[in-house]
Amino acid sequence: MATDKSQYLSDKVRNMSESATIKMAGMARAMKAEGKDVISLSLGEPDFDTPQHIKDAAKQALDDGYTKYTPVPGLIELREAIVTKFKRDNNLEFTTDEIVVSNGAKQSIANICLALLNPGDEVIIFAPYWVSYSEIVKFAGGTPVSLHADISADFKVSAKQLDQAINPKTKAILFSSPCNPTGSVYTKDELEELVDVIDKYDDLFIISDEIYEHINFTEAHASIGTFDKVKDQTITVNGMSKGFAMTGWRLGYMGAPKWIADACKKVQGQFTSGATAFGQKAAAHALSSDLRPTLEMKAAYLKRKTLVKSLLDDIPGIVANDPKGAFYFFADISYYFGKTDGVFTITDANSFCEIILQQAHVAAVTGSAFGDDNCFRISYASSEEVLTEALTRIKTCLAKFA
């Protein structure tokens, strides 16, 4: 008989939570395999295929023999393309030795945390936050400290809140803008207010996750690293997954002061080495090409956002903000807590998601995974038909709960 030997696992792994987004997507997949008609709005992944010209560049690279190890921080032509991209799109100045390409932005963030954190170091994470931040920080030995903003503040942390939260143990601040899960976007003025606080501390680092840069419905994307005062303290993370619909290619990158980039190179050199060679060639091509396919995807997301907002507003009790970027709604569902259909009771965001999965066959992710127990997250990176069907199912299901 198989016995449970999980006590032999490391404490680090036993204390790590499974990624809620990935878990929910797995549950939806399993239900689909059982023949159930499940709609998954759980995983944040573009439904679009990678643009053809990028695929062609990868095929060409294979034919050209890009099948070998690359330098750990990435092929020089990709790092050059990233330097140009940072300057062109973000007005950020880097040299190629300040760039490290990794297997997804997820690995970039892990590298940074492993490179910077000692036990006892605290990382202030703006909440609601992307699921993996807190687990990566913990795994790297640090302590995540969440700084929460609720829907009435459009889920954005203020400079005053930040000022009050910083203490001598604070080593870094980690946030995404556009934000996963809330879609909130920090304006340049709001970033400047944060910068004025951070500027008081030379030993505080900013990890700015800008992976949704291209899915931003405001006038312009602002990068916190452009402020001179904090330039030397900022690490800018980005990647190919979202803006170029390249999730499965596993390509992310960061720009950082050289001493941090060197440390990340060392970490990556021991863990995984350089990212896939032919993928890097394709990424270099993508970053240097016309952004039209990216802009077309963004236009489609905007249309879907408008649709989903009206569908959500049509469900009694659900409160949704107007996300300015990314492709998520993070809506307040606390109105339903304590409501029952006579058999099941919605007690919290977890049970809300379980009930809509079981009864409406729609997979979403509980807000508790993102540091907010009153909300749930849906990804609207799906077709308008699928989104309409999903939201109609949720509405019908919730109508039974009083």
Residues numbered 91-130 forming contacts with ligand GLU, rule: CB under 6 A: 130
The partner in contact with residue 176, picked from ligand PMP, ligand GLU, none with C-beta cut-offs of 5 to 8 angstroms by kind, is ligand PMP
Name which of 42 and 226 has its Cβ closer to ligand GLU. Answer: 42
- What letter represents residue 275's amino acid? A
Select from 180, 268, 321, 374 the one that contacts ligand PMP (CB under 6 A). 180
Binding marks (x or -) toward ligand GLU, 48..87, rule CB under 6 A? ----------------------------------------
Which residues share a beta bridge with 170? 122
Q: Does 86 bind ligand PMP (CB under 6 A)?
A: no
Q: Does 243 bind ligand PMP (CB under 6 A)?
A: no
Kindly report the number of other CB atoms within 10 A of residue 149's CB atom: 19
Name which of 132 and 170 has its Cβ closer to ligand GLU. Answer: 132
> Residue with CB nearest ligand GLU?
44
Q: How many angstroms separate the CA atoms of 386 and 402, rounded?
A: 27
Q: Does 21 bind ligand GLU (CB under 6 A)?
A: yes
Q: Does 104 bind ligand PMP (CB under 6 A)?
A: yes
Name which of 166 and 251 has its Cβ closer to ligand PMP. Answer: 251
Binding marks (x or -) toward ligand GLU, 153..182, rule CB under 6 A? ---------------------------x--
Q: How many angstroms separate the CA atoms of 199 and 212, rounded?
A: 25
Q: Does 251 bind ligand GLU (CB under 6 A)?
A: no
Select from 38, 39, 40, 44 the one that contacts ligand GLU (CB under 6 A). 44
The partner in contact with residue 190, picked from ligand GLU, ligand PMP, none with C-beta cut-offs of 5 to 8 angstroms by kind, is none
Kindly report the number of other CB atoms within 10 A of residue 298's CB atom: 17
Residues at the site binding ligand PMP, with contacts judged by CB under 6 A: 44, 104-106, 130, 176, 180, 209, 211, 239, 241, 247, 252
Residues at the site binding ligand GLU, with contacts judged by CB under 6 A: 19, 21-22, 43-45, 130-132, 180
